[in-house]
Chains A and B, each alone.
Chain A
Amino acid sequence: MKLLTKTNIFSFATNIVLFAIGLAIVYKVILAKLDKEADRQLLYTKSQIIKGLNDGISPNEFMANIGQKIYVRKINKQSIFTNIFIEYAGKEFSKKSSSKDGIIQRELLFQTKIGKQAYEITICISLAEGKQIGEYISIVVFIFLLVSFFLIFLLNRYISDYLWSPFNDTLSQIKTWNIKKQNNLNFKNTDIDEFHLLNDTLKDLTQQIKSDYLNLKEFTENVSHETQTPLAIISTKIEMLMQETNYTEKQNQLLVHTYNATQRLYKLNKGLILLTRIENKQFIETSLINLAHVFDEKINILEDFLEAKSIVIERVYNKVVIKEINADLLSILLDNLLINAIKYNLEESGMIKITIDEESFSVENTSFKEKINPQFLFERFNKNSISGSLGLGLSLIKRIVDFYNWHVSYSCKDGIHKFKIYL
C-alpha cells in the first residue's frame, strides 16, 4: 500500500470524526445562543408587561407591537415566584412541524402581583426562524468542510508527487546501485530536511559499505597470499626432508603425518578462498552453456575413477538445457555433485544416474552410506563423510545454487541418494 493511500485513509477517518463532532458542537452552540437571545427578549417583554400593568395598559397592546403572543390570566393567589422557561417542540402541537401551528416556540411563564390582583402571564416567542438559521449555518459549514476536504485530498495527490520526487529519485538510484560497479550515487538536491538527511545518510552508508567490501576483498586476497606462501614453504621443506633416507621408523611416521596435515591445510585454504569468492560474487562473467555437454565432459575426466569402482553411468537427457551462467561455477557445482556420487558409491557394481529435464537436473547414486540428515546437509564442515574429506563440497553446492537463485533438494529412497537442482 502506498504511503499516500495510508495517510489518506487515516486523515479521512480522523477528519470524519472531527467534522461530525465539530458540526454537532457548532449546531449546539448556535441553538444555545438562540435560546439565550430568546430568553433575553422574553425577560425584556416581561419587564415591559409589568411596567404596563402598573401603568394600567393592557398587555394585548404589546402583542401588536412586538410580535409576541402574550396570555394574561387573573389568578387568586400567586404560587410561582420565579421565571419558568418552557420550550415546545413543534410536534406537541401538530405532527407536521412545518405547519403554522407546529412551530417551535419558547414560553416564559410567570406570576406577578399588581396591586391586589395576581396575574399569571405567559409570553410565547417563536424559535422557528432562529432554528432554521442554525440549520442553514450548519449545512453551509458542512458543505464547506466537505468541499475543502475533497480539495485537500486532490491537492495532496498532486503535491505528493512533487514533494516525493527527490525521494523517488533516491530510491531508483539505490535500486540500481551495484557494489562492484564504480558508479557513485548522485542524489538530486532537495530543500526538505528529512530527504536531505536521508541522502546524506545513504551516501555515508554506501561509502562505508563499499570501503568495507573493498577491505574484505583485499583481506581475502591477502589471506590467500599470506597463508599460501608460508604453506608453500612448509610443504616444500617437508618434501626436502623426505628426500633424506636415513630416518628411523618413528621419524618417518612423524614426517608423513606432518606432510599429510599440511596437504589438508592447503586444500582447506583453497576451498575456503573459493567459498569466499563465490560469496563475494566474484564470478560474474557468463556464457551460454549446454548442461549435457558439461556433464559429458566431466564424466570423461572422471572416467578413471568410475572405472576403478566399476560404476555404471546412466544418462537421461530429456531436454536440451542451455543456460547463461559462469562456466567456472557450473564446473565446480557438477564436479562436487559427481565427486560425491563417486566417492560415496558402492565399492562394486554401483550406479550413477544423471537426469536433465527442462526445469531441473539431478544426480542419483547408490551408496554405502545411510540417509544423511537433511538438516545439517549443507552446513559448512559437516563432516558427514569419510575421513580425509573436508566437508566443503556440499557447502559449495549450496552456495552456488543460492548464487543463481536455484534450489537444491536431497532425498534418499531404497538406498539411492538423489540430489536434485531446480533451475
Chain B
Amino acid sequence: MKILIVEDEKSLREDVIDYLSQNGYKCDFATTIQSALSKLKETTYVCALVDVGLPDGSGIEVVAHIKKINPEMGIIIVTAKNSLEDKLEGLKIGADDYLTKPFHLSELNARINSVIRRRNFGGKNTLSFEGLEIDPIEKRVIANNIQLQLTKKEYDILVFLANSPTHLITKEALADAIWGDKAEMATSFDFVYSQIKNLKKKLNEAGLKNYIKVVYGMGYKFKD
C-alpha cells in the first residue's frame, strides 16, 4: 500500500516516512504542488498526506486535484496553523481528516490506518493479532473468541495502541488522540494510567497477557 507524503520540511518528512515504513507502508514524497501532481500521474496511492503550507502554494490545490483524478483516495491534510478556516476548507473540499502540527507520529499512523480501513482497501478491515481481533466498523473486540466488554475510552485506547504495534506510544500522544483538547487534563491526573490499568485487567482476564506493556516514565507499547 503506497502513501504519498506532500511535505516540504525535510526533517519532518523523513521521520514520517521512517515511521510509516516501519508500519508496513511504502512511501513516496513530493515537496511542491508541481511535483505532487506529477507523482499522482505516475502512481496510484491509497492515501495522501498533504501539508497545507507548501512553497509554491496551498496544499488545498493538491487535495482538489486528487479529488478530481481519484476520488477513492484517502487524504489527510496537515496544517501548521491552528486556524479553523484551513481545516474547514480542507474537509469541505474532500479531505478525510486533518492534523495540526506538531502531531504525534503514532497519531498520524492511527489516522492513516483508519482512513484506509474506512475505504476497505485490500479487503481487510479488522485489526488482528494472536488471539485478539478488533473490528473498528462494528466497534467490537474479540479476545480468544469471547467478546470483551470495554468502555468507550478503553476501546479507543486499545484501537489506538493496536494501530501502531511494537511502537512506543507516549501517554501525551494517547491522551491527545483520545481526549483531544482535554488531553492536558487527562495527563495531569494520571487518567491515562488508570484507563490502561483497567484495559490491561480486562485483557488479562480474557487470557491475553502482556499485550500492553508499560514503559516506565515514557508510555506504552502494544504487543512488544
Question: Could you say which residues of chain A place their CB within 8 Å of the CB of B53?
Answer: 225
User: Least Cβ distance of B28 to chain A in Å?
Assistant: 19
Q: Quick check: which of A58-66, A72-80, A302-310 contacts chain B, the rest being far away?
A: A302-310
A239 and B173 within 8 A (CB) = yes
Task: Please tell me which one of the listed residues A233, A252, A302, A388 contacts residue B218 in the complex, with CB atoms under 8 A apart.
Answer: A252
User: Least Cβ distance of B217 to chain A in Å?
Assistant: 5
Task: Please tell me if A92 contacts chain B, counting CB pairs below 8 Å.
Answer: no
Q: Kindly report which residue of chain A lies nearest to residue B81, judged by CB atoms.
A: A224
Q: Mark each residue of chain B from 159 to 200: 1 if its CB lies under 8 Å from any CB of chain A, else 0.
A: 000000001101011000001011011111101001000000
Q: Kindly report which residue of chain A lies nearest to residue B173, judged by CB atoms.
A: A239
Q: Kindly report which residue of chain A lies nearest to residue B19, judged by CB atoms.
A: A240
Task: Please tell me if B105 contacts chain A, counting CB pairs below 8 Å.
Answer: yes
A308 and B191 within 8 A (CB) = yes
A234 and B103 alpha carbons, distance in the complex (Å) = 11
User: Least Cβ distance of A19 to chain B in Å?
Assistant: 69
Question: Could you say which residues of chain A place their CB within 8 Å of the CB of B182?
Answer: 301-302, 305, 335, 339
Q: Which residue of A234, A242, A274 has the most chain B CB atoms within 10 A of its CB atom?
A: A242
Known contacts A239-B173, A242-B170, A343-B188; A228 and B101 CB within 8 A of each other? yes
Q: Mark each residue of chain B from 1 to 29: 1 if its CB lies under 8 Å from any CB of chain A, else 0.
A: 00000000101100110110000000000
Question: Could you say which residues of chain B place their CB within 8 Å of the CB of A236?
Answer: 12, 15-16, 19, 102, 104-105
A339 and B185 within 8 A (CB) = yes
B185 and A342 within 8 A (CB) = yes
Task: Please tell me which one of the listed residues A259, A266, A305 contacts residue B185 in the complex, with CB atoms under 8 A apart.
Answer: A305
Q: Kindly report which residue of chain B lies nearest to residue A266, judged by CB atoms.
A: B102
Question: Could you say which residues of chain A place their CB within 8 Å of the CB of B218?
Answer: 242, 252, 255-256, 259
A300 and B15 alpha carbons, distance in the complex (Å) = 37
Number of interface residues of B (CB under 8 A): 40
B101 and A239 within 8 A (CB) = no
Question: Could you say which residues of chain B place their CB within 8 Å of the CB of A228?
Answer: 80, 100-102
Task: Please tell me if A229 contacts chain B, counting CB pairs below 8 Å.
Answer: yes
A88 and B21 alpha carbons, distance in the complex (Å) = 127
For the residues of B in contact with A, the DSSP-based class is helix
Question: Could you say which residues of chain B place their CB within 8 Å of the CB of A240?
Answer: 15, 18-19, 105
Task: Please tell me if B153 contacts chain A, counting CB pairs below 8 Å.
Answer: yes
A239 and B106 within 8 A (CB) = yes
- For chain A, residues 221 to 245, give those with C-beta under 8 angstroms from any C-beta of chain B: 221, 224-225, 228-229, 231-237, 239-240, 242-243
B82 and A328 within 8 A (CB) = no
Q: Kindly report which residue of chain B lies nearest to residue A328, judged by CB atoms.
A: B84
Question: Could you say which residues of chain B place their CB within 8 Å of the CB of A252?
Answer: 217-218
Task: Please tell me if A267 contacts chain B, counting CB pairs below 8 Å.
Answer: yes
Task: Please tell me which one of the listed residues A224, A242, A308, A343 contacts residue B82 in the complex, with CB atoms under 8 A apart.
Answer: A224
A242 and B216 alpha carbons, distance in the complex (Å) = 12
Known contacts A224-B80, A232-B103, A235-B102; A304 and B153 CB within 8 A of each other? yes
Question: Could you say which residues of chain B place their CB within 8 Å of the CB of A302?
Answer: 182, 185
A412 and B144 alpha carbons, distance in the complex (Å) = 55
Task: Please tell me if B136 contacts chain A, counting CB pairs below 8 Å.
Answer: no
A274 and B103 alpha carbons, distance in the complex (Å) = 18
B185 and A343 within 8 A (CB) = yes
Question: Could you say which residues of chain B place their CB within 8 Å of the CB of A215?
Answer: none
Q: Which residue of A270, A308, A386 has the most chain B CB atoms within 10 A of its CB atom?
A: A308
A237 and B105 alpha carbons, distance in the complex (Å) = 10
A243 and B194 within 8 A (CB) = no
Task: Please tell me if A362 contacts chain B, counting CB pairs below 8 Å.
Answer: no
Known contacts A236-B102, A243-B168; A273 and B185 CB within 8 A of each other? no
A242 and B173 alpha carbons, distance in the complex (Å) = 13
Which A residues have a C-beta under 8 Å from some C-beta of B? 221, 224-225, 228-229, 231-237, 239-240, 242-243, 252-253, 255-256, 259, 263, 266-267, 270, 273-274, 277, 301-302, 304-305, 308-309, 328, 335, 339, 342-343, 386, 388-389
Taking A263-B172, A266-B102 as given, write out 16 further A-B residue pairs in contact, using a Cβ cutoff of 8 Å, ordered by the A residue number: A221-B81, A225-B53, A225-B81, A228-B101, A228-B102, A229-B101, A232-B9, A233-B12, A236-B16, A236-B104, A237-B15, A242-B168, A259-B170, A270-B82, A277-B82, A305-B182
Which B residues have a C-beta under 8 Å from some C-beta of A? 9, 11-12, 15-16, 18-19, 53, 80-84, 100-106, 153, 167-168, 170, 172-173, 179, 181-182, 184-189, 191, 194, 217-219
Q: 5 A-B Cβ contacts within 8 A? A: A225-B80, A233-B11, A236-B105, A305-B191, A388-B187
